[in-house]
Amino acid sequence: MIKNNILINTPCLKKLGGVSNHYIGLQNKWTLNVIYNTIGSRNKIPFFILLPFDIVKFIFKCLIYRPHLIVLNPSLGLNALKRDSLFLFFSKMLNINTIVFFHGWDLEVEKKIDEGSYDIFNNYKKTDLFLVLASDFKKKLIEWGFKTEIKLTSTKVDDDLLKSFSIEKKPKNNDILFLSRIEEEKGVFIVLKAFKKLKLKFPEIKLTIAGNGSALQKSKFFVKEHKINDVFFTGRISGEKIYEAFNNHSIYFFPTYYGEGMPTSLLEAMAFGQVIVTRPVGGIKDFFTKKMGYLSNSKDPKVFEKILHECMNDEHFFEKQNFNYNYSSDNFFASKVALSLQDIFISLKKE
């Protein structure tokens, strides 16, 4: 009898981060027997100290549960690549099919691989399937010489987050939300500079900056120094606060120039009927259309100020809100993403 055990290496689910968030949201949506195996830094202990223990624990679980499939979840970062190449080595030594699912994608590491500073091909050539969040990532893996099958997937929106949401009852306003890690490369200063100009034309609008990060204090200082009114910093939010943030704002402004995969917060904003203003990075450009909002390659706050002005005067604004709500529920809800991933998992089962 063939077992349907699937072993998924995850970071500590109590940690902040996209991978943790992804698997927390999927945890109650699996219909197969999915086993999470925690690896990496936790309890304030660095990953490299825990690595020998994690490898022994990983091998032990493989021998006990006899999974037909293992899913590794690195980012394209040097530490994660080196660490997960070890887990791949042992999973293949045990003759277990293994998927490598790249979530984050560090563009600086991509350059190092291009230059030959790190040999990703030899370390990952035994992978049975790659999962990526953007077509650009797929193209790059092919360019690096991989013949392994590569499939696109997405992050998810937690169905439970929208249980009490009604698109018909959503407040009508032009208020703007930026919900992300507060980092320069996520575009927070583009947001603040564009909002400062926009505030002169639309004095009633408000901006909420939700999240923590290395640029948080600098962002607060910028607002104070430039005397920008109606900018609210919430810090990291969860649960009901996230619901309120997405429900009470109409525009999600995310001019990131980071190596994004498929930003969960953007998909969540769509699910709450927000009109999206963003840049064509990572997996965003693989699905984004004009019906969803506005896409620009620019990093110039003046360009985004004009885009936001156009957005607020858009006669199809409410059509975009409804389209995003329906598109997200049809494509990104965790229950549907879990089933889609399970179809992939089952396809790799060894008889």
Q: Quick one: how many helices (H) and strands (E) in the chain?
A: 14, 12
DSSP labels, 269-301: HHHTTPEEEE---TTHHHH--TTTEEE-----H
Cα gap 273→338, rounded to integer Å: 23
Do the beta carbons of residue 210 and residue 177 sit within 8 Å? yes
Q: Which DSSP letter does residue 348 get?
A: T
Tally Cβ neighbours within 10 Å of residue 42.
16
Do the beta carbons of residue 25 and residue 52 sit within 8 Å? no
Mean pLDDT of 163-167: 95
Architecture category of domain 5-156+333-347 in CATH: 3-Layer(aba) Sandwich (3.40)
Q: Is the pLDDT of residue 1 over 70?
A: no
Task: State pLDDT tens for residues 185-203.
Answer: 999 999 999 999 999 999 9
How many angstroms separate the Cα of 314 from the Cα of each of 132, 275, 350?
34, 11, 53
Task: State pLDDT tens for residues 282-340.
Answer: 999 999 999 999 999 999 999 999 999 999 999 999 999 999 999 999 999 999 999 99
pLDDT for residue 350: 52
pLDDT for residue 260: 84
Range 159-331 classified under CATH 3.40.50.2300: no
How much is the pTM? 0.91
Task: State pLDDT tens for residues 202-215.
Answer: 999 999 999 999 99
Confidence of residue 17 (pLDDT cuts 50, 70, 90): confident
Q: Is the pLDDT of residue 126 over 90?
A: yes
Q: Is the pLDDT of residue 92 over 70?
A: yes
Pairing mode, strands 150-152 and 176-179: unpaired
Task: State pLDDT tens for residues 148-161.
Answer: 999 999 999 999 99
Task: State pLDDT tens for residues 220-267.
Answer: 999 999 999 999 999 999 889 999 999 999 999 999 998 888 999 999
Cα gap 58→228, rounded to integer Å: 52
Q: Which DSSP letter does residue 153 get?
A: -
From-to residues of CATH 3.40.50.2000 in the chain: 5-156+333-347, 159-331
Tally Cβ neighbours within 10 Å of residue 305.
20
The mean predicted confidence, pLDDT, of the chain is 94
Contacts of 278 (CB under 8 A, 6+ apart): 252, 253, 254, 255, 256, 266, 284, 288, 293, 294, 295
